[in-house]
Each structure stands twice: as C-alpha cells, then as structure tokens.
Chains A and B, each alone.
Chain A
Amino acid sequence: MTLNLMLTERELKLKSVQYRKALLRLIKACGAGHTGGDLSCLDILNVLYNRIMRVSPETFKSPDRDYYIQSKGHCAEALFVVLADMGFFPESDLETLNRYGSHYIGHPTRDVNGVEQNTGALGHGLAVAVGIALAGKMDRKDYRVFTLLGDGELAEGSNWEAGMTAAHYRLDNLVAIVDRNGLQITGSTEDVCQLSPLDEKFESFGFAVQRCDGNDVGELVRVLESVPFRPGKPSLVLAKTRKGKGVSFMENVAKWHHGVPSDEDFKRAMTELEAAQAAIA
C-alpha cells in the first residue's frame, strides 16, 4: 500500500482553492451542479483523499484499501474534481459531464474509476458503509470506511437504522462525516425538520462524536487523524461547514443549492478565489 503524499496544511489550503476553481469551471461548462453543497464539502474531500485515506488509483482494487462512500451523492462534481486530481481519470474526461452518452453523470456511479458505490438517492450510504466495515471486522482487516452524509439527508430514517447496526457491531473502523452546512433545498435544516442536537442524537445511538470546522483543513486533519475516537465505537465527525464556502455571494444562500453561475457570477467568483490563492501563496 502506497502512502499518501503528506501535504502540509498550507498545501492543503492551496488544494482547496484549486478544487473550488476547478469545480466552478466544471459546473459553468456543463451548466448544472449542486454548487452550494459541493463547495461546503470540498475541504473534507481534500483532506480525506490527500491526507487521511489509504487509497489511490494503484490500490483502488486492493482488498486492504480504505473505502469512501459518498452518501450525499448529489455533490458528485466535488468528488469528480478530487478524483481527477488524484489521477483516477484525466481531468479532461469531465468535459463530458452530463453530456449525452457520458458515464460522468450528476451522481457518483461505479462506471467512474474511483467510485465505490452508486449513490444519489439519500439515506443509502451509511448502511452500505456499515456492511463494508462489518466485513472488514469479520476478516480482521485494518481498512477504514469513510462516508460523507449531508445534514438534510439525516431526515431519512434509514440512516438511523444503519447507525444502530454500526454501534451494535462496534464498528470503530467506520467514520461517518456529516457535512453540517445547515441548509437544504427548501431552506434551513432546522426549519424544514429540526435535526439539532445532532451530536447528542448520534452519541445516544452509540457513536463517538467530535465536532470541527469542516472548512478548516487543519482542524479536519487533526480530527480525522485521531479516528477511532473511542475503541469499539463508530466515529462521527460533525463538520460545521458553510454552503457555498469560498465564494462570498454563494455562502449560506439556499438558492445556490444547485445554482449555476452566470458569466458575471463566474468572473466574480474566480476573482475571489484567485485572491484567496494569492493570500495563501
């Protein structure tokens, strides 16, 4: 198993900006995408793939690899941008995203190299991750299973069924990360169907929970490097994020859930991201 190239915190920050730029170019070019959620979860994906997970294009078929299941499948564009950067496929492949006949569609599918499971319907990822983690325990393997959940999708009861099973089988090789941006398509998650207090809910279901700033790569590294938080318990990272993170006029605005930037929006966003990049460099 090859080890990830250990990027420094500064390099990770630069990656995040680079990913945001690539993401907006992609969404602008194909005219569709879940922009807000993509931007909120990009730092999490960045840290997972560049720092935490033991998986690469060379080891993707290895039975000992770490697994990643993206339960919030609608943020496929963010995943595709990161997978392309990791070398799972050429970035130019993404020019076909959503085009007639392309296997790059608006949700993750196993037709795309690097994708473990077809997702898109919400509330499915955690149960699949539980199954993979359980098999790992049975086979005494040391791989970990990471899954990214949207906060809005936690209204799906299947998550809580899977959560009970994760705790029942003491799956401390399972790490669920909630992209807690607080918004869903209708508005605030708390107005649509109150989720808080999520930490207490998951703790009562048997998870060891840690909160962090899900848009701070340094905090994400520290938290994710410390899994499992408690031996014998599945880990849950409550990652507080901002929907639309990184572009001022998209941040915390529900309409950017699947908004596509106009030419002017795109220009403004890129200018902001260039400035952010210059500040880090």
Chain B
Amino acid sequence: MMEQALANLEVFAATLLELAREDSGLLVVTSDSRGSAKLAPFAKAAPGQIVEVGIAEQNLVGVAAGLAAAGKKVFAVSPACFLTARSFEQIKNDLCYSNRPVNAVGISAGVSYGALGTTHHSLHDYAALRAVHNITIVAPADNFETREAVRAAAQLPKPVYLRFGKKKMPHLPRVDSAFELGKASLIREGAHLSFLACGETVAPAFSAAELLAKEGIQCRILSLHTVKPLDQAAVRKAATETGRVITVEEHSVSGGLGEACAGLLLQEGIHARFKIVGFPDDHTVTGSQEEIFRHYGLDGPSLAKAGRELLEKQ
C-alpha cells in the first residue's frame, strides 16, 4: 500500500510560500480563488505578495503579464477549467506570444470537481495548450514532483502551465529521485508493458502495476509530468524496450498525452501495441472523481485489465 500524503495543491501552496519568503518579487494573482487554491495561509503570511482581481480570469492573466513585464515573478492561480478556456487568448497572446514568464496555475484540474459537472471539468487543457507555441505544460504526479515542479517553474524564464488536482495523493516510490522539467520520472522498472501517465493518473497506473506484478507481469511506469515538451527519448525507449504502451491521462483522448506519444512513435516508425486511456468524446458521467475514474477505466483494476488485454492482443 502506498502512504496517503497531501493533496498536490496543498504542497503547491506551501512551496509557493517558501519561494515568496526567498524572493519578495514573487507575486500570486488570484481570481477569488485563494480559498480553493489553499492559499489562505499564504495570504495571511505574505499579504503584500498576493494580488486579487476578483472573478475575472481574462484580467487575471492580462494583469499577470503586466506584472511580469515589470519584472515580477508571477503565479496566476485559477481553476483549470476557467483559466485555460476563459483566458485562453490571454495565455496565447499576453503570455506565450509576448514571452512573459508567468506561471499559469490550473487548480482542481481534470474531473477534480466531480459532480459539479462539465462547466468545472478541464479535459481540454493539454490539447488546447499543446497547440500554443512557447508554453511548458506540467502535471505533477505526487507531492514530491509538485514541490520540484513549482520550484523549477519559478526559475524558468518562460510561460508555464502547472496543473493540480485536489485529491490527497500517495507518495510514489521512484527509481531515480532526480527531477527535471521535460524529463520523465521513472517510477517503476519493468519489461513487459509500459504505462505512460501524467498528473493524478500515475498513482492508479502504479496500482495496476502492483496488481499485474502478482501475476508475473512487470510494468514500467513513467511519470510524464511534463506533457510539453514531451520527453521523446523516454517514450521511444519505453515503446522499443517493452513493445506495449498504455498512456493514461485525466483528459480527453483527443489531443492530449496519448496522441502526443502516438504521433511520435508513428512518425518514427516504432511499432508498439498501443492504447490511449482517457476521456471519450462524450458528456462526462456524474459522480465523484473516484467514480468517474472507475467509469472510464482510469482506476488501478481497470488499468490492470487494459494491461492484460494488450498483452494478449496479437
């Protein structure tokens, strides 16, 4: 069993406060989102380093761009669903095209909001932002990756999109404890099958690997925390060495991590049995995040089943 730790969002907020204490030029900009972003302690501890703009996400990103233009290190924080849809044009033009090193932080991402429904889900953000030039997309798997990713993003002189859920995440074991944006983290080694996952789907992929290990099936687990730029070498290596690849993402199957990997392998002529697990092009079923994950096959047992099926496939 994996130990349950904090929500990645809580680690993000704590890391931000550490960074704010180190750098008085660091600012957090919120759109009435400090409570849901777990930033109330930050606001109390560093009141001069938080800027509130109200429920106005376009303005959130535009103001963040201006603050960055004047030399501030900025984290603009808002629910991922609004941040990447309502303010998409501000991200594209004011941050990416104008090259402002703002960290756009999408909180309660994917289906974190569960039964609140489609307005509050962000299953489009990887696809939308992958098509925008000059942005790094990061979805950390656990508390460790979150802390490392936030620190790395703060140093990157370019726009970054960070994506967090609000569920408590387990500490994942990892083969190598180094962390670098753009480099996949090897969570578990295995020769029969690779799970390439990101964000909160790495944990269920790990659970699937544990189930399959009892049957003698050894799985490689890669956390592709940086969805863009993709760690092409790690994807290539996994496909070549294990011959079977399942990608897992809390995102539509259209335009996300899975299609990024498929596009790479197909164009390089690397043949692997391949399956994309994500959300189909349909209304999302009602339920908690856990129930929704199970419904679409993103839980450990479903992923183990997908692994068996891929191994049996001729």
Q: Interface of A with B (CB < 8 Å)?
A: 63, 67, 109-110, 116-121, 123-124, 126-136, 138-139, 157-158, 161-162, 164-165, 168
Q: How far is the CA of A126 from the CA of B168 in the complex (A)?
A: 39
Asked if B54 and A116 sit within 8 Å, CB to CB, the answer is no
Interface residues of B in 49-82 (CB under 8 A from A): 51, 53-54, 56, 58-59, 61-72
Please name all residues of chain A whose beta carbon is closer than 8 Å to the beta carbon of B63 when the two chains form the complex.
Answer: 127-128, 130-131, 134, 162, 165
Say yes or no for B8: interface residue by CB 8 A criterion.
Answer: no
The minimal Cβ–Cβ distance linking B240 to chain A, given in whole angstroms, is 39
Interface flag for B90 (CB, 8 Å): yes
Asked, given contacts A118-B98, A161-B58, whether A131 binds B64 with beta carbons under 8 Å apart, the answer is yes
Count residues of chain B with CB under 8 A from any CB of chain A. Answer: 26
B284 within 8 Å of A by Cβ? Answer: no
Known contacts A110-B98, A128-B65, A162 near B70 by CB under 8 Å = no
A-B contact pairs, 11 of them (CB 8 A): A118-B98, A124-B93, A127-B94, A128-B94, A131-B62, A131-B63, A131-B66, A136-B70, A157-B58, A164-B54, A165-B53
The smallest C-beta distance from A37 to any residue of chain B, in angstroms, reads 19
A135 pairs with B93, CB closer than 8 A: no
User: Are B93's CB and A127's CB within 8 A?
Assistant: no
Residue of A67, A116, A132, A157 with most chain B CB atoms under a 10 A cut-off: A132
* Known contacts A124-B90, A134-B63, A165-B53; A117 and B58 CB within 8 A of each other: no
Q: How far is it, in angstroms, between the C-alpha of A129 and the C-alpha of B63 when the chains are bound?
A: 7
A158 to B59, CA, bound (A): 6
Whether B56 lies near A165 (C-beta < 8 A) is yes
Q: A123-B58, A165-B63 are in contact. List 19 more A-B contacts (CB 8 A).
A: A109-B97, A110-B99, A118-B93, A118-B94, A121-B93, A127-B63, A127-B94, A128-B63, A128-B66, A128-B69, A131-B64, A131-B65, A134-B51, A135-B70, A139-B70, A161-B53, A161-B54, A162-B62, A165-B54
In angstroms, how far is the closest chain B Cβ from the Cβ of A167?
Answer: 12
Chain B residues within an 8 Å CB radius of A126: 62
Secondary structure call for the B interface: helix
Q: Shortest distance in angstroms between A72's beta carbon and chain B's nearest beta carbon? A: 14
Give the Cβ gap from B297 to chain A, nearest Cβ, in Å: 39
Give bound CA distance, A84 to B98, whole Å.
21
Q: Is B180 an interface residue (CB 8 A)?
A: no
Q: Which residues of B contact A110 (CB under 8 A)?
A: 98-99
The A interface is mostly helix, strand or loop, or mixed, namely: helix
A67: chain B residues at CB < 8 Å are 69-70
Select one of A109, A132, A158 contacting B70, CB under 8 A.
A132
CA distance A117 to B61 in the complex (A): 14
Q: In the complex, A104→B239 CA distance in Å?
A: 44
Residues of chain B whose beta carbon lies under 8 Å from any beta carbon of chain A = 48, 51, 53-54, 56, 58-59, 61-72, 89-90, 93-94, 97-99
Closest to B62 in A: A127
Report the bound CA distance from A135 to B66 in whole Å.
8
Residue of A nearest to B57 (CB): A161
Rounded to whole angstroms, the CA-CA distance of A278 and B59 in the bound complex is 47
Measured in the bound complex, the distance between the Cα atoms of B98 and A24 in whole Å is 28
Q: Which one, A123, A132, A139, A164, contacts B56 given CB within 8 A?
A: A164
Q: How far is the CA of A127 from the CA of B56 in the complex (A)?
A: 11
Task: Note all chain B residues with C-beta closer than 8 A to A131.
Answer: 62-70
Q: Judging by beta carbons under 8 Å apart, are B72 and A120 in contact? A: no
B54 touches A133 (CB 8 A): no
Residues of A within 8 A of B62 (CB): 124, 126-128, 130-131, 158, 162
Question: Which of B68, B71, B90, B98 is within 8 Å of A63, CB to CB?
Answer: B71
A185 CB to closest chain B CB (Å) equals 19
Q: Are A127 and B54 in contact (CB under 8 A)?
A: no
Whole-angstrom CA separation of A224 from B144 in the bound complex: 53
Q: Provide the bound-state CA to CA distance between A119 and B63, in Å.
A: 14
The docked-state distance in angstroms from the alpha carbon of A139 to that of B71 is: 10
A81 nearest CB across to chain B (Å): 22
- State how many angstroms separate the Cβ of B83 from the closest Cβ of chain A: 14
In whole angstroms, what is the CA distance A121 to B89 when docked?
A: 8
B28 to chain A, nearest CB (A): 13
Min CB–CB distance A20 → chain B (angstroms): 29
Contact status A117-B67, CB under 8 Å: no
Q: Of residues B58, B63, B69, B89, which shows the largest number of chain A Cβ atoms within 10 Å of its Cβ?
A: B63
Asked if A127 contacts B58 (CB within 8 A), the reply is yes
Chain A neighbourhood of B56, CB < 8 A: 161, 164-165
What chain A residues lie within 8 Å of B72 (beta carbons)? 135, 138
A161 to chain B minimum Cβ distance, whole angstroms, is 4
